[in-house]
Amino acid sequence: MASSSSPTTPYLKLDVFLSFRGTDTRNSFTSHLHDALQRNQIDAYIDNKLDGGEKIEPALLERIEESFISLVIFSENYADSTFCLRELSKILECMETKQQMVLPVFYRLVLVGETTNVQQLDPSHVQNLTGSYGDALCKHERDCSSEEVESWRHALKEIANLKGWDSNIIKDETKLIQEIVSDIQKELSHELSLSLDAEGLVGMKSRVEDIESLLSFGSTGVLIVGIWGMGGIGKSTTAEAVYHQNCSKFEGQCFFQNVREESQKHGIDHVRQEILGEVLEKKDMTIRTKVLPPAIKRMLQRKKVLIVLDDVTDPKDLKYLLGEDGLFGQGSRIIVTSRDRRVLENACDEDKIYEVKILDEDDALRLFSLHAFKQDRPIEGYSGLSKTVVSCVKGIPLVLEVLGGNLYNKRSVEYWERKSVVAQLRTNGGEAIKKHLEMCYHELNQTEKKIFLDIACFFGRCKKDFLQQTLDLEERSGIDRLADMCLIKIVQDKIKMHDVLLKLGKKIVLQENVDPRERSRLWEADDINRMYNLRLLKIYYPPFLKDPSKEKIMNGKRVGIHLPRGLHFLSSELRFLYWYNYALKSFPSIFFPEKLVQLEMPCSQLEQLRNEGILASLPNNIDALKSLKSLHLSGCSGLVSLPNSIGVCSSLASLPDNIGALKSLYQLNLSGCSSLAGLPDSIGELKCLAKLHLTSCSRLASLPDSIDRIVKLKSLKSLNLNGCSGLESLPDNIGGLRCLTMLNLSGCFKLASLPDSIGALKLLCTLHLIGCSGLKSLPESIGELKRLTTLDLSGWLKLASLPNNIIDLEFKGLDKQHCYMLKRLGSLVSLTQLRLSQIDFERIPASIKQLTKLSKLYLDDCKQLQCLPELPSTLQEFNFSECLQLDQNSHFRIMGAAHLRIRRMATSLFYQ
């Protein structure tokens, strides 16, 4: 059976695949087109490998197959490349077998030599295989098989005769790119509209059109539209369809599911921060105040955004999330879904509330048939029975889907008549509707029931692979069975369960026994001390209790988790344990977590994992924890020791030598363990360790030289030493960490130098050196980090010089005392990108003109900056926001450079 809940088209990961000749257009037309597609929220794939080689990698073929549209840019020398031609043959194959849309672009080529010569590529050269295309194929006949060359001829002719764009007709390159982007947006929007019914979203098209009418996209004001209806009627699904069909029209977007549930778990401040972080594309942003900082307000006011707030139940929460009038930019749209009309009436006009109504009889019958028979009408002999179901269910989509999924493959009229829910519906009518979901649950086998209740009580929404980790191998097929029965949906490898079904699952568990000790699952804090057979345990702390200065009273009692007699038992069947602010100093003495996969104890009072003197509290042999993949102890300031038997820490001052026995450990987070003085050599034996976080381990003075052993195992990608103020040096052989992509050394005040071997970190993308005041120089090998995209030198640095081969550089917060570093900018001849933020200087050194490779310059919030020197002619992108003191001459110089670049683009004479 399929793993999706209804017949769907294959999921395509990419919107557009770009096929092009790199030497012709990579650094001009193609890069500009790709940038425009990305800016318009169109996911376009571009192969960034330099031209060379004949073999096409399997991964690239997969990218073609995973794309909805292939955009082929025919340039003068496209056919010279056998790589391009093989790529084109695969594109034609996908067009013929997968109905992939293929769009050609006939692009003029600009040749720059002793004299400038502009050649126009005539589409007929490609269609008729003449000119450079004919010559190229003749050359290939000498080196390639005749069958392969013939297949290339066929592909060229077929694709060149499709409707596309001709740069001879649209000569302005900027306009050409705008038209291509606009047309692709229309195709993607049209495809989404067509796919609504194909995905089983019956009746959705008219709903989407009605809501789009309420959204009045032509209006420049900020509008709020509400979507109202009962549970299971399709509010969230409708909002999601509207969002995906229109999000590309906006500069910022966010679809936030389950505002009610997330605010209860993490607090409304967390919800607001998540939403604004996504809208502003600053997911690491932290907002610590109820009132938004002025800088964030300005960013929001300049941005046209689309935000969906799903399942809002508290008017105060909604008002808080929407903020003050004028918070969002002109043309912004906010969509709110709720079961409570009063919530919506407080936020939007009466005529802007859309009521999601039940499906009419025809649509209801079609939806039911899609799930019961996998076609849009009942099979022969079942029409009358199907109409009975539809008539009784009253057109509620969730009910129709689950009933249909439950009856799928039950091809016995007798079963439908006597044993199934149909008989109940006939006799009890509306009363039976309340019980039908529970009846569908009882149709599951024991494994499927267990998975259903696990999702309902603990996960709700999670990644499929994470849920699989909590199950035995033979149980995992039950996930797909639940999807077949429409009890869950699997979208892009993420599992979702409707909140109506979530409540059903919890109700079933509550009905198991009046005594919580006899239930299979517990999630209420009052029952936490009575566990026997728990497999999954997740305990959240009420957000308002995270502030110890506030005392909250409810029903005359303090709200919180109370264990006055301690905790005497935890199930050894536990696979997953999350406990925020665990109040005790140790775990129970009889706790044997051999099956534990993930342990998270943030901000707990835990001091040890066993009671002193009870050696049997955890497995003595560390190998018993083979399943452990994640250990999170961030913020556990009271942690004194962990037993050697768990293989993590013997005390805060050190880790046990046998930590290397945790062969499955993927992430080790010891952030905030401020007394940790060192790491054992055996840490190099953690074969799967990809993330090592030691943030604010202030007593950590050094890393073991043996840490480079991890490299041979191709694991460590992220090393975070932010705030390790006692760190004096890095291992000389740190360059052996060949897989490292992120290294954060911010706040390492005592760090005096970086090893020369750092230049061997060929995959390093991000290097943070914020506030490393002890650094006086950087090694020349820094310039060998070809993939380095971020080098952050913000803060109080004492650097006397910088290597001249740096290609990307950021300074932030320099005062006048430290602006001397900028005088040497002219020597950084390899620099391509420069960011100068919040710097207290009046002018940029004139030597910046010597940076002949500089393409991007950002001057953000440099309020004292008064004038600009002549800038490099290579500059493509220039941002000078909040530079309020710039004189008139500087403005003229900026505009003059911009006009020059536009003229160059218009004639296609400009190369990056």
* 481/488 Cα distance (integer angstroms): 9
In which element (H, E) is residue 36 found? helix 31-39
DSSP string, 37-69: HHHTT--EE---SPS--SPPPHHHHHHHHTEEE
Q: Which two tokens stand for residue 330?
A: 């002109």
* 712/585 Cα distance (integer angstroms): 38
DSSP string, 496-527: E--HHHHHHHHHHHHTT-SSGGGSS---SGGG
Contact criterion met (CB below 8 Å) for 572 and 595: yes
**CA 908, chain centre distance (Å):** 36
Q: Which residues pair with 71 in a beta bridge?
A: 18, 103
Using the structure block, give the residue that is written with the tokens 């009466």: 350
Contact criterion met (CB below 8 Å) for 437 and 507: no
Torsion of CA 502, 505, 511, 512, to 10 degrees: -140
Phi/psi of residue 37, nearest 5 degrees = -65, -45
In degrees, to the nearest 5, what angle opens at C-alpha 452 toward C-alphas 446 and 457?
125
Phi/psi of residue 751, nearest 5 degrees = -70, 115
Catalytic residues: 87
CB count within 10 Å of CB 687 equals: 17
Cα torsion angle, 345, 351, 357, 363, sign? negative
* 81/20 Cα distance (integer angstroms): 10
| CA-based end-to-end distance of the chain | 52
| Long-range interactions of 163-166: CB distance < 8 A, separation 24+ | 163/103, 164/72, 164/103, 164/104, 164/105, 164/106, 165/103, 165/104, 165/105, 165/106, 166/106, 166/123
> 3-class secondary structure for 799-812?
CCCCCCCCCEEEEE
Q: Which two tokens stand for residue 320?
A: 């808080």
Q: Which two tokens stand for residue 840?
A: 């207290």
**Residue 580 falls in which region: left (phi positive, over 0), alpha (psi -120 to 50) or beta:** beta
In degrees, to the nearest 5, what angle opens at C-alpha 693 toward C-alphas 690 and 694?
145
